[in-house]
Amino acid sequence: MNKEQRQAIRHTEGPLLIMAGAGSGKTRVLTHRIAYLLAEKGVPPYNVLAITFTNKAAREMKERVHKLIPDPEDAERIWISTFHSMCVRILRRNINYLGYENSFSILDPTDQNSVVKGILKNRNLDVKQHHPRKILSYISDQKNQLIDATTAISEADGHFEGLYSEIYKDYQEILYRNSSLDFDDLIMLTIELFKKEADVLNYYQNRFQYIHVDEYQDTNHAQYELVNLLAGKYRNICVVGDSDQSIYKFRGANIENILNFEDDYQDAKVILLEQNYRSTETILDAANAVIGNNTSRKPKALRTERKGGKKIKTILADSERAEGQEVLRHVMALSREYSYSDMAVLYRANSQSRAIEDAFVKGSVPYKMIGGMKFYSRMEIKDLMSYLKVIQNPHDDISFERIINTPKRGIGQKTVEKLLAYGSSNGISMYEAVMQADFVGIPKSAVVTLIKLDEMLQNLKEKSKYMMITELVDEVLEDTGYIDALEKEDTLESRSRIENLEEFKTVTREFDNENEISDELLFDFLSDMALVSDQDGVEADSGVTLMTMHASKGLEFKVVFVVGLEEGIFPSQRVMYDDDELEEERRLMYVALTRAEDQLILSRADSRMIYGKRESNVQSRFLNEIPAGLIDGEVVEIDSAKSKSPFQKAGRAHRRTPTVLTDNSGVTFKVGDKVAHKKFGDGIISNIKGEGDSKELDIIFTKEGPKRLLANFAPLEKKE
């Protein structure tokens, strides 16, 4: 431990702000501080709370605490969780005070979207004119500011706010009727509970006498209020964060929470952690130079013992396609020194990933993209999860409507609408309406089918009380006929869905291994699944990681590529004339730079296709803010003869430095040539397009069929 780290660990009484720079060992400080409280201060483990933002961070913290505390039972008694997981546990015990069922469901974004679409339909509003995502963003903003629907209606300004506040009211009424919560409700309702029930608040204040909050710069207003309520009695609150890494304003994060901590707690101790244990001096000097241009920050300067370091490489490409090819060239060259999983490509927006993906696919470089189509959003997984949700909470109309005719059992849309209308007019759930199906006015054949469905669900609910989750999943898939229906379909798509359902059991088995049968088991599993984040899918040895800069926060890689460094792309066009937004973008650049341990490669394109139009932009101001002495003097420039604006830095023109990366560069391919590929096997060239590094080969492989590959990069052997 360095001096500042030891100081932070030993200062246990009263408010403490630890301003921890990137890579400064803040998790180590937090976990050792918790161990110090137990070992040296005699604090009971159940009086300690640690809150962070991602499941991944919470798991890492738990693992480290278990290693530091000799008694595993003591380690287990400490509450270490995300904000949302903590609130789920509190609400599970106490939500009945607010009129909800303790077996409440948690809606995911797809479910929320369905609810809003239903409201728009009932109000005869056009989904294209009133996009559900925009309305949900409005509702989320209101909840993060702790504004309920009634207040939102009274404070609405203008037609659209008035309409959206009314939709917010409808939305909340549906959720209440379904005993369902969205993510924002988890925190908002916990605060409502604490303010309404003084005894409940007093219980948790006494329970959590020592509170730790990680990534405090990312807290929104609701999280800020929640933390202050919990800390209100004992005031032993330790917050850890970095104003230079506040990058979630678009989610409601308020940088003022960390900047004003000393105003909220005037007796607060402030400790700066400025020793970086991750990056080279070159990388830190670049990051410090960039972030130094911001004004809304607590000044600090990261330092490291990793003196020197490789200079920062830069790329100028002719287009986004050429940029992808150039990133590929560098990755292949670096793969001699690093594994693919040591490298990451970061971009401002997900749409920028396509050109990188195309290059990697054609170059046969393995990669993992974070933030694409999520496994849990796939149809078959959503269907299965909906069955489990209905078993746990029969009043969940959103899930029940999804599974009532899945797989198909002859229940038509008119029957569904009648059940929904009957339930709405009688103030009951769709599931309860099914049990009164004789009075709903639906065909007798549908009544018989619904009675069978009800009996099956009741039977599965009983089974859930004495089964592990994997066993229950097997029973659900069997009893509902879901697997049978997919097997009868017998298509490539249905087989893929069966494989995904089998893969889902990997998740359930991991959960089963860590838990025992109990009445809470299904609820706990569904809560865990609802709170999965993108970063939870980041695994080692899975190829080059492709992700947005926002998603990269908290991660580190040996080599980092930052692409799309052009004005209008990064920083984005919409922030150009807003100083606060521009500072947020600069903090995002700082986060991107400080993900790198050994090497940085910064890239831009001379022109780029944006929303169907090709545009040329000057290089990003963030590149200009990096001292020229930190930049490698030479850069690969693709199609430099065609480029209209040669890449220049500090008055020095960069020159093309071609690198031979494969044995193919001197090989001449022609149509009809037989080739062998390391992965795809034998094939024959059917067509050739492009020139130089852009040359592409259309190859028909004997086993894998047609593929298009880059001539210079694909692992090909020409056969005689």
Regarding predicted confidence, which is higher, 355 or 703? 355
pLDDT > 70 in the chain, percent:
93
Binding site listing: 20-27
Just give the CATH number of 654-719.
2.40.10.170
Share of the chain above pLDDT 90, in %: 63
Query: Positive or negative, the Cα torsion across 695, 542, 56, 592?
Result: negative
* Sequential DSSP letters for 635-665: --BTTTTT-SS--EETTEE--------STTT
* Cβ–Cβ under 8 Å, residues 190 and 222: no
Q: In whole angstroms, what is the distance from residue 594 CA to residue 276 CA?
A: 10
Report the largest interatomic distance among the alpha carbons of the chain, rounded to a whole angstrom: 84
How high is the pLDDT of residue 313?
96
Q: Point out the least confidently predicted range of 18-22, 188-192, 494-498.
A: 494-498
256 Cβ contact list (under 8 Å, min separation 6):
none
Collapsing DSSP to helix, strand or coil, 205 comes out as helix
Helix (H, G, I), strand (E, B) or coil at 688: strand
Among 3.40.50.300, 3.40.50.10580, 1.20.58.340, 3.90.1150.10, what is the CATH number of 292-371+540-632? Answer: 3.40.50.300
Active site residues: 26-27, 214-215, 245, 595
Q: How far apart are CA 664 and CA 308, in angstroms?
A: 35
For position 372, what pLDDT does the model report? Answer: 52
Check pLDDT > 60 for residue 707.
yes
Residues 6+ apart with CB under 8 A from 25: 5, 273, 275, 277
Supply the mean pLDDT for the chain: 88
Q: Which of 93-107, 321-335, 528-542 has the lowest mean pLDDT?
A: 528-542
What gap in Å lies between CA 152 and CA 161, rounded to an integer? 8
Alpha carbon separation from 108 to 128, 180, 386 (Å, rounded): 22, 10, 11
Report the pLDDT value the prediction gives residue 665, as an integer from 0 to 100.
63
Q: How far apart are CA 375 and CA 496, in angstroms?
A: 12
Lowest mean pLDDT among 176-190, 288-302, 594-608: 288-302
292-371+540-632 shares the fold of 3-93+188-273 = yes
Decide if pLDDT at 486 tops 60: yes
pLDDT at 612: 60
Q: What is the pTM of this model?
A: 0.76
Instruction: Average the pLDDT over 476-492 and give the result.
Output: 90
Distance CA 328, CA 322 (A): 10
Domain range annotation of the chain: 3-93+188-273, 105-178, 292-371+540-632, 375-533, 654-719
Which of these ranges, 404-413, 654-663, 691-700, has the smallest mean pLDDT? 654-663
Q: What is the mean pLDDT of residues 712-719?
A: 84
- What band does 375 get if pLDDT is binned at 50, 70 and 90? low
pLDDT of 491: 81
pLDDT for 353 beyond 90: no
Measured between its terminal Cα atoms, the distance across the chain in Å is 63
The stretch 447-464 carries a mean pLDDT of 92
Residue type, 333: A
Locate 234 and state its tokens. 């004992």
CATH architecture of 3-93+188-273: 3-Layer(aba) Sandwich (3.40)
Q: Beta partners for 345?
A: 546, 561
Of 100-109, 374-383, 581-590, least confident by mean pLDDT is 374-383
- pLDDT at position 678 is 80
Q: Which of 159-163, 415-419, 573-577, 644-648 has the lowest mean pLDDT?
A: 644-648
DSSP lists the bridge partners of residue 347 as 548
Helix (H, G, I), strand (E, B) or coil at 34: helix
3 state SS for 584-602: HHHHHHHHHHCCEEEEEEE
Binding residues for ATP: 20-27
Q: What is the pLDDT of residue 653?
A: 34
pLDDT of residue 233: 96
pLDDT at 204 over 60: yes
Q: What is the dotted CATH code of the domain comprising 375-533?
A: 1.10.486.10
**For residue 358, pLDDT beyond 50:** yes
Q: Is the pLDDT of residue 35 over 60?
A: yes
| CATH code of the domain occupying 105-178 | 1.10.10.160
- Bigger pLDDT: 368 vs 557: 557
- State yes or no: pLDDT of 643 exceeds 50: no
Mean pLDDT confidence for 616-631: 92
| DSSP sequence for 249-262 | GGGT--THHHHTHH
690: left (phi over 0), alpha (psi -120 to 50) or beta: left
Residue 541: the pLDDT is 53
